[in-house]
């Protein structure tokens, strides 16, 4: 497996998950990240095709992500609407608008048009570099700035934020806007950097995976990015398949990465977890038995397509329980008179 290719495939997940970290640390659960990514993928591809400029395409994707975040913030933060309902509405809106727009512009037959390709250096494009640089940048922004302190406090104890002279609404919306911009950028990279084209519903649940990655990474940007690389690896397997044959080596690497990821969750928790330890033991046993498997394993490719989602569900079952979520996550805040 080419590591540069792994980074390219993982970049949409890294960007979307980092944006979701920012929003959730501020107390806003952005269920609509899937829709924001889909909007970004469509409008990024459309703007690039019409203008011939990748810069304009990515800019359009970021802009549409910001607009959707502002709309979401209006309903969830300002009006106190249910965050899950608003996010679900954005996801359905994205499916309808992008599907209809794609068919109206490119034809009922679903014509796929190639876009200008991103420049590559050492097998990776500039958006991959930006995503990698954003990992420490988001950590610094959250942990070492006054805005980051106010954002984290908005997700933990918003009354203290108001007492300190900040506006909880403005802080939360600013975090949501940053998350929306990154979600739009993630979608554009999916259509312009990974696929090189647009297809209806092409995000295929990556936005929901990004939400799961935030829990997996314990709301820490570095751990979230590493978890995104793990899921990105499982997604990249579908691109490297030769027919339906999977090498035993690929299976063993996948099992090893899963063991490392589960062990990493205990390191973040700083305590042993019997369920996680049981999961590691099961995977280690499976790895031992895999030594007797044939060199080429014929597994339906559909199972590998489903693997990232199965892995995300297992992570939430093994790791999600007992997780110390931001205490004000998903709870509207009303300023006291």
pLDDT at 110: 46
Q: Which one has a higher pLDDT value, 231 or 279?
A: 231
Name the pLDDT band for 265 (thresholds 50, 70, 90). low
Ranges 20-29, 161-170, 187-196, 294-303: which has the least confidence:
294-303
| Farthest CA pair distance, the chain | 70
Exposure string for 218-238, b = 16+ CB within 10 A, e = fewer: bbbbebbbbbbbbbbbbbbbe
Q: Which of 69, 2, 17, 19 is nearest to 209 (CA)?
A: 17
Residue 155 scores a pLDDT above 80:
yes
Closest CA to 131 of 189, 44, 197, 178: 189
Give me the pLDDT at residue 272, please.
63
- At 114, is the pLDDT very low, low, confident or very high (cuts 50, 70, 90)? low
Q: Find tokens 């889909």 and name the residue.
A: 38
Residue found by looking up tokens 């009303």 in the block: 334
Question: Which band of pLDDT confidence, cut at 50, 70 and 90, is reported for residue 297?
Answer: low
Q: What is the pLDDT at residue 175?
A: 96
- Residue 263 pLDDT: 74
pLDDT at position 279: 73
Is 334 a residue whose pLDDT tops 80? no
Inter-residue long-range contacts of 314-318, CB under 8 Å, 24+ positions, other chains counted: 314/279, 315/212, 315/215, 315/216, 315/227, 315/261, 315/265, 316/212, 316/215, 316/216, 317/275, 318/262, 318/265, 318/273, 318/275, 318/276, 318/279
Name every residue whose Cβ is closer than 8 Å to that of residue 241 and which is 6 or more positions away in sequence.
Answer: 301, 304
**For the segment 2-11, what is each residue's pLDDT rounded down to a tens digit?**
788 889 999 9
Can you tell me the distance from the alpha carbon of 150 to that of 171, in angstroms, rounded to the nearest whole number?
7
The whole-model pTM stands at: 0.84
pLDDT score, position 149: 94
Measured in whole angstroms, the distance separating CA 17 from the mean position of its chain's CA atoms is 3
Q: Among the listed ranges 44-48, 77-81, 265-269, which one has the minimum average pLDDT value?
A: 265-269
Size of the chain in residues: 337
Of the given ranges (78-87, 191-200, 229-238), which has the lowest mean pLDDT? 229-238
Sign of CA dihedral 170, 171, 174, 179: negative
Q: Please indicate whether residue 308 or residue 317 has the higher confidence score (pLDDT).
A: 308
Q: How far apart are CA 54 and CA 317, in angstroms?
A: 40
Indicate the average pLDDT of the chain: 84
Residue 196 has a pLDDT of 85
- Computed on alpha carbons and rounded to an integer, the radius of gyration of the chain in Å comes to 20
Mean pLDDT, rounded, for 311-329? 71
Does the pLDDT at position 105 exceed 80? yes
Who wins on pLDDT, 318 or 12?
Answer: 12
pLDDT tens column, 203-256: 989 999 999 899 888 899 998 998 898 888 877 776 665 455 666 676 777 777
Identify the pLDDT of residue 281.
Answer: 79
């Amino acid at each position: 497996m080419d590591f540069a290719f792994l980074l390219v495939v993982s970049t949409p997940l890294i960007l979307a998950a980092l944006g979701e970290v920012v929003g959730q640390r501020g107390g806003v659960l952005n269920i609509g990240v899937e829709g924001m990514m889909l909007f970004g993928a469509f409008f990024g591809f459309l703007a690039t095709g019409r203008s011939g400029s990748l810069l304009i395409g990515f800019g359009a994707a970021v802009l549409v992500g910001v607009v959707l975040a502002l709309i979401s913030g209006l309903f969830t933060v300002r009006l106190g609407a249910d965050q899950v309902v608003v996010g679900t509405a954005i996801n359905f809106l994205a499916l309808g608008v992008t599907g209809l727009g794609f068919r109206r512009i490119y034809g009922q037959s679903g014509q796929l048009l190639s876009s200008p390709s991103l420049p590559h250096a050492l097998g990776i494009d500039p958006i991959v570099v930006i995503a990698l640089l954003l990992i420490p940048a988001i950590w610094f922004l959250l942990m070492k700035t006054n805005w980051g302190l106010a954002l984290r406090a908005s997700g933990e104890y918003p009354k203290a934020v108001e007492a300190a002279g900040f506006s909880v609404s403005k802080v939360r919306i600013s975090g949501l806007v940053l998350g929306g911009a990154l979600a739009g950028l993630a979608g554009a990279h999916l259509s312009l950097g990974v696929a090189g084209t647009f297809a209806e519903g092409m995000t295929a649940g990556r936005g929901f995976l990004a939400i799961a990655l935030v829990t997996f990474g314990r709301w820490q940007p570095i751990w979230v990015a590493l978890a995104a690389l793990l899921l990105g690896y499982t997604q990249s397997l579908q691109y490297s398949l030769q027919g339906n044959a999977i090498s035993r080596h690929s299976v063993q690497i996948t099992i090893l990465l899963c063991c490392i990821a589960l062990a990493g969750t205990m390191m973040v928790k700083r305590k042993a977890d019997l369920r996680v330890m049981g999961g590691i033991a099961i995977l280690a046993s499976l790895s031992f038995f895999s030594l007797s498997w044939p060199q080429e394993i014929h597994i339906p490719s559909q199972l590998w397509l489903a693997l990232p989602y199965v892995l995300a569900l297992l992570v939430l079952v093994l790791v999600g329980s007992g997780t110390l979520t931001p205490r004000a996550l998903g709870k509207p805040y009303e300023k006291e008179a």
